[in-house]
Structures are given as structure tokens and as C-alpha cells.
Amino acid sequence: MGFLSERSRFAINPLEEDDAIAEALERKGKEIIKLNRGDPAVYFPTPQYIKEAYIEAIRESKTHYTETRGAKELVDAVMGRYRRLYGLDLNEDDVVVTAGVSEALYMLNSALIDRNDRAIVFKPYYTQYIPYIGLAGGREYLLDYKENEGWGIDIDELDRHVRRLKHKARVKYVLLTNPNNPTGTVLSRKTLEGIVDLANEHKLLLISDEIYDEIVYNGARFTSIAQVAKGVPYVILNGASKNFDATGFRIGFAVVPGRDALSKELKAKLADFASVRVSANAPAQYALAEGLNNVVEHNRAIRYMVGEIEDRVNFAVKLLNENTSLSTVRPRGAYYIFPKIDLKGLHFKSDKEFVDSLLKSRYVQITRGSGFGTPGHIRIVSLPPKETLGEAITKLNEFCRRKR
Ligand SMILES: Cc1ncc(COP(=O)(O)O)c(C=O)c1O
């Protein structure tokens, strides 16, 4: 590999590989419908009151470094949120503000993973979990979400694998994504309780990425790991990107509420990581603090956005269900749909071939399931307005009819 480090090979995003094809088509004047990026702020402008707070922070010259672990205003606002939503009493030391959940993942993996350690991750997974594990020298241990059970978790299977794995390597954490990207699943309270019991028995650390915890619909009830944790050490990840519709702010946070020895050691080390990188973006932190504190404005904004998302997702699922080459589990959270493709019936060798062929012939860009660890599927981002979704899915359905 020449001059670069060996581990730098993990810094790769397989979901961007089709961007070059799309760009080449655009240069030829083709208009591409893009259902491949999960960025809400492209379709729903960041709420005005949050943008005003950002501008106000700059006007007040709050453009200097903040406290390394996060501006006090934001840390207090995060504590307020968890008290309000989940009855969780946090100390200031339990919160570390990061440049998005992405930086929190970097810090956590760097803090926890040694060479050959394992991290249990369920697939399909949010793609970016994997590079951070590899960069830290560890390896992901992949288990399946169960598609025929609404992409749920089989606790007995998890138990069997943890028992087997314990003799071979150290399991540093079990990662949950709830609600899920790319399946849109909201885990049941019962499942979470089962995982907590198992974590208690095997002394496992749980990391729960709850970045979509307010984007829940179709009658689903969200349970945070905080509501069932019963003394198990855990980390919650969340931030500005999804609930506050501000992906470009690059602000997230890790919450480590436990009073046990592992939690104390971990939160202190995350604070060290925060001090090494000096500070997160200052105005964006003050803006998110206002986003969290102004409950009236936030509730108005999130209710509107989630209502629209529910409508768009259900519209898309209805159209997808007309396609006999796809089978779709109806999402109940986030804004992704993850149908299974009948590759054989359509005479495709792989999901990549399917996705590339759709892009090149119908100018619709979606993402291959294998990029999330689950081949034979596609991920559709259901954020655009219904006219756009309708046009794209009609093209997708027509494409499949022709290929049969
Ligand atoms: C499950 C999940 N976690 C984390 C992220 C990234 O979060 P951030 O923008 O805070 O880095 C995403 C973005 O799509 C996501 O889907």
C-alpha cells in the first residue's frame, strides 16, 4: 500500500461508489432522481428558530472554543431532554458533545477497541459503523436482524453467539440502532429487556444509536435503552442531524448515565478524547441548545416533519407493494425502506448489478443492500415529496416488469 498505514484501508464508504456513475450521467444532461441520501435537511429546511439561534450566536461573537466536552448551555439542554423524555437524571459528566454521532463512534471505538477485539453489530447495519471498528484494530461480529420477524432481534441466537465468542475474543460492545437505518424498525420494549438481561448476565456494554428516536410513526412506540437498562452499562448516541433536521451542523452527543466502574471509566476517557480535539463547532452547539430547550417550537417542527415522513413512507410502500419482484417490511421509524429483491426472477446476479442497471437505464439512484451488510436488498430513502417518490418508484416498478 506504499506510504499509507495498513489500517487506512478501512476508511471507505461503499455507498458512494455509484456517485461517479450518477455524475457522469448528469454531465451528459440526464436528470437523476436521488433516493440514496438520508439527509432530511435537503427536503425539510432546518427549523427557523434553530437557524436564528445559530445566527444570534455568531452576532454575539460566540465563535470561540467552548468547554472541551461541550458548551455548558448544550450539556444542560441535553440533560433537560433526557429528563423530559425518559425520566433520566444525568450529571454534566455523563454528556460529551461531538461532531455528530460519527465523531462519537470514532471516540468510542478508539476508547474501547484493541487489536482483535470484537464488536457485535446486527446487519443490515448503518454502513459507517464498520470503518471505525476496523480503524481501531478490531473486528465486527455480525448477526442478522430477522427480516421475517419485522427485522427484529433473536435474543436466544444472540445469547448463543455471545457464549461462543467469549472463549475466542473480548466482546467490547453490542451495538443497537433504534429506530433503524436502513430497515425502519423500532425495537420492542420486550426485545430491549431481553437484551438488557443478556448484557447483565454476560457483562456486556450496550451502545444504542437512537439518532431517530423522535422519528417514529405508524403506531410504533419508542423505548429508549435508558428506560430498561437496570444497571447495565450503556451509551446513548444522538444529536442534531435527524430530530433537529440539521445534518450540516455536525453536532451530536454521547450520553453515559451509569454509575458503575465501567461507565465511569468510559465517560472520563470520552472527556479526554474531547479535550484532545479541543472543541466542537461553537455556534452550532448554541443553536442545538435552543433546539432542545424550546420545546414548543421543537414539538411543532418535529410533529410536522414526522407527519410528512409517515405520509411519504406509506405512499412509497403502497407503490412498492404493487411490485411482485420486491417484498417490503413496512417501516415504523426513520425514513428508509429496505425491500428484498427477487434477483433470480429478474435475472440479476447481485443487488449491485440491479442498482447500477436501474441508475443507468432509468436514472433513479438507490443503494444496494450489500453496502449495509445484507445483499439481495435495496435501500430507498423516502424523504422527497410524493410526486418525486411516485415518479421514481413507478420507474423502478416498470424496470422490474421489463426484466422479468
Ligand atoms: C443510524 C445513524 N447513526 C448515525 C448517523 C450519522 O449521524 P451524524 O450526522 O450525527 O454524524 C446516521 C446518518 O445517517 C445514521 O443513520
- Check whether 287 has a pLDDT greater than 60: yes
Q: Do 220 and 62 touch, CB atoms closer than 8 A?
A: no
Pairing of strands 118-123, 139-144: parallel
Q: In terms of domains, do 193 and 85 share one?
A: yes
Query: Per the confidence metrics, is the pTM higher than 0.95?
Result: yes
Q: In terms of domains, do 290 and 306 share one?
A: no
Q: In terms of domains, do 197 and 235 share one?
A: yes
Cβ-based neighbour number of residue 145 at 10 Å: 23
> CA 177, CA 184: separation in Å to the nearest integer?
10
Q: In terms of domains, do 78 and 30 share one?
A: no
Last residue of a domain, one of 294, 315, 330: 294
- What pLDDT, in 10s, does the model give residues 196-211? 999 999 999 999 999 9
The CATH number for 280's domain is 3.40.640.10
Q: In terms of domains, do 265 and 276 share one?
A: yes
Q: What is the mean pLDDT of residues 294-321?
A: 98
Q: In terms of domains, do 313 and 252 share one?
A: no
Q: Is 177 in the pocket of ligand 1 (CB under 6 A)?
A: yes
> CA 36, CA 336: separation in Å to the nearest integer?
10
Mean pLDDT for the chain? 97
Tell me what pLDDT residue 214 has: 98
Ligand 1, atom 4, residue with closest C-alpha: 101
Q: Is 110 in the pocket of ligand 1 (CB under 6 A)?
A: no
Spatial strand order of the sheet with 367-368 comes to 336-337, 378-381, 367-368
- Check whether 184 has a pLDDT greater than 80: yes
> CA 9, CA 135: separation in Å to the nearest integer?
8
In a domain, 156, yes or no: yes
Tell me what pLDDT residue 209 has: 98
- What pLDDT, in 10s, does the model give residues 43-73? 999 999 999 999 999 999 999 999 999 999 9
Which residues form the domain of 135? 48-294
Q: In terms of domains, do 27 and 61 share one?
A: no
Count of domains in the chain? 2
Tell me what pLDDT residue 13 has: 87
- What pLDDT, in 10s, does the model give residues 357-400? 999 999 999 999 999 999 999 999 999 999 999 999 999 999 99
Q: In terms of domains, do 336 and 393 share one?
A: yes
The CATH number for 39's domain is 3.90.1150.10
In a domain, 1, yes or no: no
CA 403 to chain centre: 33
Q: In terms of domains, do 317 and 277 share one?
A: no
In a domain, 366, yes or no: yes
Looking from the CA of 57 toward its CB, the CA atoms found within 13 Å total 24
- Check whether 1 has a pLDDT greater than 80: no
Last residue of a domain, one of 247, 275, 294: 294
Q: Which atom of ligand 1 is nearest to the CA of 126?
A: 1
Give 358 Cα–ligand 1 centroid separation in angstroms. 26
Q: In terms of domains, do 28 and 52 share one?
A: no
Tell me what pLDDT residue 227 has: 97
Tell me what pLDDT residue 26 has: 96
Tell me what pLDDT residue 145 has: 97
Q: Which atom of ligand 1 is nearest to the CA of 241?
A: 9
Q: Is 126 in the pocket of ligand 1 (CB under 6 A)?
A: yes
